[in-house]
């Protein structure tokens, strides 16, 4: 993966320098394109500045090097052509004390070679021009750093949403002003976001993605290209996974690579498969369970003695496998199961789950492997209560109470006898449990059980008839709640 390094200092538009009233610079020759930029300012009185230029400079000169008969020969043409060959961005000519005006032959040469020529008035020093360039560069760098920082925060927030992959792609496309595409290991487009690229750019981006797809030693992790004025970039995700992030944008600012690299790292985490020793231990535990080993014997492979079971549902759309994996990562556990629109996560008891944006969570009490089924039931009930009360996270109560004073066997026997009339179908007892836990609220019980409130009323009325009791009596409710908690 490319490291999301600090973005380089952005160049300064030449137009911004010309707009500085304190400098009073004036363009007198060469193109006036708005996209002309300078990377630094350099002063030289050499007749041939080529060996001393790096490219992108605003070269400043007072014309000390110009011979008296320069205007009648090829001196200025040779001088300007060497600056252009070295990659110079513009030439600034200072008036006084050597020359009162800019030589006409220099103006003509700059027009001929397409080099912007600036007239520097006598009151403006070269050091003042250089300082202005650095000030503009510092301002541009600060603005770019802020843009990159904002983008990083937005991408991180997108990765924590219930639909993390589409959210990250949407945020990336918005930040670079183009299109972001996730390609699968077989090269197919899995997800995308943003505006459609230019003619042929989509096909070119897919081809560029093949360049970084793992195919042996020496395969690059990133690549760039240009198609019909559209800037293309591809980033391999993770180590040998085969997923590739493609980005197409009409322009490429200095911080765009950093932003795309951050998105690539997040997508790598979201799509990656864990190939570590921990993953091997989990695989071994699964095999042993399938072959009949008791959970208590397998649990040591997972590295914890007591566990929490977390049930979660997203607040909006149904969860997908990637969103479930991202939730597990946020809770600190790769032990994730997705079934029937509910994500279940097995979390070590020393990692206290916190509320997650966009999710509703129910958390069980800490339990040893032998009690995992009971903890799973606790988490399901906690989730139902959380959804009914519109609470982000509800934990199953673990504090001691009066029920702990009654021997477990006697309590279970009493519960079976008391609840026998409503044991079949199981929906009756579960509806009664939920209704009592929500203080007899029809609407909240309906939300928790995902049924109509009239269904709740019918079931509770059926329970009252089968139990031949008054469910409005607080003593009856207390005894039933005690019995239901034993189940």
- Full pLDDT tens readout for the chain, 487 residues: 333 444 567 788 999 999 999 999 999 999 988 889 999 999 999 999 999 999 999 999 999 999 987 877 899 999 999 999 999 999 999 998 899 999 999 999 999 999 999 999 999 999 999 999 999 988 888 888 888 888 888 888 888 887 888 899 999 999 988 999 998 877 888 888 988 666 778 888 989 988 888 665 567 888 888 888 889 999 988 655 678 999 999 887 778 888 988 888 888 878 764 444 455 676 777 777 778 888 777 777 776 678 899 999 988 777 777 778 778 877 878 788 888 789 999 888 888 888 888 889 999 988 888 888 889 988 988 898 888 888 899 998 744 455 545 666 777 788 788 888 888 888 888 899 899 888 889 999 988 888 898 999 999 999 999 989 888 888 888 888 888 877 6
Residues 432/480, Cβ–Cβ less than 8 Å: yes
Whole-angstrom distance, CA of residue 415 vs CA of residue 480: 8
Last residue within a domain, chosen from 339, 365, 395: 395
Same domain, 163 and 219: yes
Residues 307/366, Cβ–Cβ less than 8 Å: yes
Same domain, 37 and 57: yes
Token readout for 215 is 């195919």
Same domain, 164 and 264: yes
Q: Sign of torsion, CA 298 339 160 192?
A: positive
Residue 138: inside a domain: no
Crossing angle of the two packed helices 321-331 and 256-271, in degrees rounded to 10? 90
Crossing angle of the two packed helices 426-437 and 372-388, in degrees rounded to 10? 60
Q: Sign of torsion, CA 471 473 474 480?
A: negative
Q: What count of residues does the chain have? A: 487
Q: Residue 61 is inside which H or E element, if any? A: strand 57-61
User: Does the pTM exceed 0.75?
Assistant: no
Residue 13: inside a domain: no
Paired sense of beta strands 179-183 and 230-236, if any: unpaired
Q: What is the CATH number of the domain that holds 114?
A: 3.40.1390.20
Q: Residue 460: which domain range? A: 402-484
Same domain, 381 and 412: no
Using the CB atoms, write b or e for 314-351: b if 16+ within 10 Å.
Answer: beeeebbebbbbbbbbbbebbbbebeeebbbbbbbeee
| Strand-pair partners of 94 | 120
- Residue 437 phi/psi, 5-degree rounding, is -65, -25
Residue 140: inside a domain: no
Crossing angle of the two packed helices 474-484 and 426-437, in degrees rounded to 10? 120
Same domain, 418 and 367: no
Same domain, 414 and 459: yes
Q: How many domains does the chain have?
A: 4
Same domain, 369 and 458: no
Same domain, 415 and 380: no
């Amino acid at each position: 993966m490319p490291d999301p390094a600090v973005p380089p200092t952005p160049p300064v538009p030449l137009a911004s320098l010309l707009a500085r009233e304190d400098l009073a610079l004036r363009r007198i020759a060469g193109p006036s394109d708005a996209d002309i930029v300078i990377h630094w300012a350099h002063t030289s009185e050499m007749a041939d500045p080529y060996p001393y230029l790096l490219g992108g400079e605003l070269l400043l000169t007072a014309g000390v090097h110009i011979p008296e008969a320069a205007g009648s020969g090829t001196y200025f043409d040779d001088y300007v052509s060497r600056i252009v060959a070295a990659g110079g961005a513009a030439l600034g000519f200072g008036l006084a004390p050597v020359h009162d005006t800019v030589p006409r032959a220099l103006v003509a040469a700059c027009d001929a070679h397409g080099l912007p020529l600036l007239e520097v008035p006598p009151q403006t020093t070269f050091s003042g021009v250089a300082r202005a360039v650095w000030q503009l560069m510092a301002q541009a760098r600060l603005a770019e750093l802020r843009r990159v920082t904002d983008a990083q925060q937005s991408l991180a927030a997108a990765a924590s949403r219930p639909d993390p992959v589409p959210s990250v792609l949407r945020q990336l496309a918005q930040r670079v002003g183009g299109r972001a595409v996730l390609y699968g290991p077989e090269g197919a487009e899995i997800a995308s976001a943003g505006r459609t690229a230019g003619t042929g750019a989509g096909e070119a981006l897919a081809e560029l993605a093949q360049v970084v797809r793992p195919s042996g030693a020496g395969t690059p992790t990133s690549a760039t290209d240009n198609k019909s004025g559209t800037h293309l970039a591809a980033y391999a995700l993770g180590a040998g996974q085969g997923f590739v992030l493609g980005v197409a944008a009409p322009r490429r600012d200095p911080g765009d690579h950093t932003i795309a690299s951050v998105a690539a790292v997040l997508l790598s985490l979201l799509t990656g498969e864990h190939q570590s020793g921990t993953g091997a231990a989990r695989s071994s535990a699964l095999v042993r369970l399938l072959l009949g080993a008791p959970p208590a014997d397998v649990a040591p492979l997972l590295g914890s003695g007591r566990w929490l079971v977390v049930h979660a549902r997203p607040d909006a759309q149904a969860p997908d496998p990637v969103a479930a994996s991202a939730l597990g990562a946020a809770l600190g556990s790769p032990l994730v199961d997705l079934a029937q629109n509910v994500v279940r996560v097995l979390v070590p008891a020393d990692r206290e789950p916190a509320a997650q944006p966009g999710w509703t969570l129910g958390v069980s009490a800490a339990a040893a492997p032998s009690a995992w089924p009971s903890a799973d039931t606790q988490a399901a009930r906690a989730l139902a209560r959380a959804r009914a009360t519109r609470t982000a996270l509800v934990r199953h109560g673990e504090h001691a109470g009066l029920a702990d004073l009654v021997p477990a066997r006697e309590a279970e026997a009493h519960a079976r006898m008391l609840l026998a009339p409503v044991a079949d179908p199981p929906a009756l007892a579960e509806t009664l449990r939920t209704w009592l836990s929500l203080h007899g609220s029809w609407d909240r019980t309906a939300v928790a059980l995902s049924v109509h409130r009239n269904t709740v009323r019918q079931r509770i009325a059926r329970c009252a008839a089968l139990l031949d009791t008054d469910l409005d009596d607080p003593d009856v409710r207390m005894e039933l709640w005690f019995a239901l908690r034993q189940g």
